[in-house]
Amino acid sequence: MSGFQVVVLWSDILIWLLVVAGIGLSIFISRNEPLLAAWRRVGANRIGMASATVLLVFIGIGLLDSLHYRAQLESKPGQTARYGIEVLSALDALLTPLRTQNEKTYSAPFATRLFAKETIDVAGKGSVRDYPRLKFGGKHLGDHEDQVENDVSHQVFRMSILTLLAWGILLALVTTLLARRASAVNTAILAKIWRGETGFAWNAVLITLGLIGLFLVPLLSLSSQYHVFGTDKVGQDVLYQILKSVRTGLIIGLAMAGPLHAEPPTTAVLGTPPQPGWSLLSTPQKIILAPLAGDWDQMDNLRRKKWLGIAERFPKMTPDEQGRIQERMREWAALTPAQRAKVRDSYKEFNQLDADKKKAVKDKWTAYSKLSEEEKALLRQGKPAPKAAGQTQNSAPNTELTVTNSSTPPNKIESATKSDGQ
């Protein structure tokens, strides 16, 4: 093939637009601290990263199968270039032996003969009923068809050794890069990787890549000499069909993911008109909302509208209510973006509890709020609070709580989250 003509299918456009959108989303997340903190937690999850590694392999196969072209036909010098009718992909080019080495009909995995008997001509025997020899499967063995098992074992062993060597080089590269970034020695970083003490679940990713390599590399090596999964009714290699079906599965998955899982913006978000920036607020509004000054211009219109509503009702509140609102604003403003993201996650989890569990959480918080500051500090450190004088084991309040370093009570955080719309 001396040339080719690029072919763009509508499904190719869809897939590559999603790739561009994914890159854009990654850039956006990298510049948004709360989202970045949430994705860092995902990156530290071993199961999640192992699954993502497998998914990325499938996506890579699908992308290779989304680069289409028509091969140029042979022509005499000076003639206009002509291109074939068949539309191929980059994956087809890589899998040329699998695509072109077709048999007559069905054959079993690693077989050297067809699955069904036929009448064939044998030299010196005439016409006999036997299993015809495959044109390509095990062709390199010649007359030594009984050596299939030994040949396959030898190739699997050889390819596995090469895969492990390549995996070792990858491990060394990752360890060296992490060691340079952390200004530490390679052995210390390697120990952290295997203990799962790195911020990203490198151990899960590397182990998953190693297992995938140990499966795919020997499989693809053998596929050039055998039909490792056999052939179908028309003699086409089944492994080739499996790899070609990956792209179809991705398109179906992408088409179904939107309607099933997407949560469209609410009418409140879509219908909220633009709200003034901090510089355009009135002096009374700035005084009331002062703790939010640093975050105001980064809020969306819906959150600004909610806080402006609170500021409008603020003069009519009692002094105690005004104090609580100001305190909650200060506490919320003092949280880091990562802490705010954690609060939002906790609030969502709390909302998913049933009524009895919500009541239990509130009862525990009531018991916790009655403790002294010294007892609260002990609980934050993971130590049991000392019993009050005369208090028995059965009469002790249930103070079994998950206490963070933040002094903000859950009910106040919950109220601040509701008010801020975050």
Q: Residue 240 — very low, low, confident or very high, per pLDDT cuts 50/70/90?
A: very high
Q: What is the mean pLDDT of residues 289-298?
A: 84
Range list of β-strands (E), 63-123: 68-72, 83-89, 118-122
pLDDT of residue 401: 43
Of 5-19, 26-40, 400-414, the range with the lowest mean pLDDT is 400-414
**Is residue 417 a contact partner of residue 344, using CB atoms and an 8 Å limit?**
yes
Please, are residues 18 and 81 in contact by the beta-carbon 8 Å criterion?
A: no
What's the token pair of residue 147? 């050596």
Q: Note the pLDDT tens digit of each residue in 20-65.
A: 988 998 999 888 887 888 888 888 889 999 999 999 999 999 999 9
Once rounded to an integer, what is the mean pLDDT over residues 78-103? 88
Region 398-415 average pLDDT: 45
Residue 196 banded pLDDT, cuts 50, 70, 90? confident
Q: How many residues make up the chain in this entry? A: 422
DSSP string, 375-418: HHHHHHTT-PPPPPTT--TTTS--------S----HHHHHHHHH
Q: What is the mean pLDDT of the chain?
A: 81
Please give the full DSSP string across 257-292, using - where no structure is assigned: HHHHH--PPPHHHHHPPP---GGGS-HHHHHHTGGG
Q: How far is CA 293 from CA 114, 288, 328, 363, 388, in A?
A: 78, 10, 14, 35, 44
Q: What is the reported pTM?
A: 0.59
**Mean pLDDT lowest for which of 41-50, 146-155, 178-187, 367-376?**
367-376
Alpha-carbon distance 245 to 237, whole Å? Answer: 13
Q: To which H or E segment does residue 117 belong?
A: none
What are the sequence ranges of the domains in the chain? 4-96, 102-236, 278-387+398-420
| pLDDT tens digits for range 340-392 | 777 777 777 777 777 888 788 778 777 777 777 777 677 766 666 555 444 44
251: CB partners within 8 A, 6+ apart: 11, 14, 15
Q: Check residue 177 and give its pLDDT.
A: 92
- Specify the pLDDT at position 341: 74
Q: Which of 342, 363, 358 is nearest to 408 (CA)?
A: 342
Largest CA distance in the chain: 111
The Cα 100–Cα 303 span in angstroms is: 61
Q: Compute and round to an integer the Cα radius of gyration of the chain.
A: 33
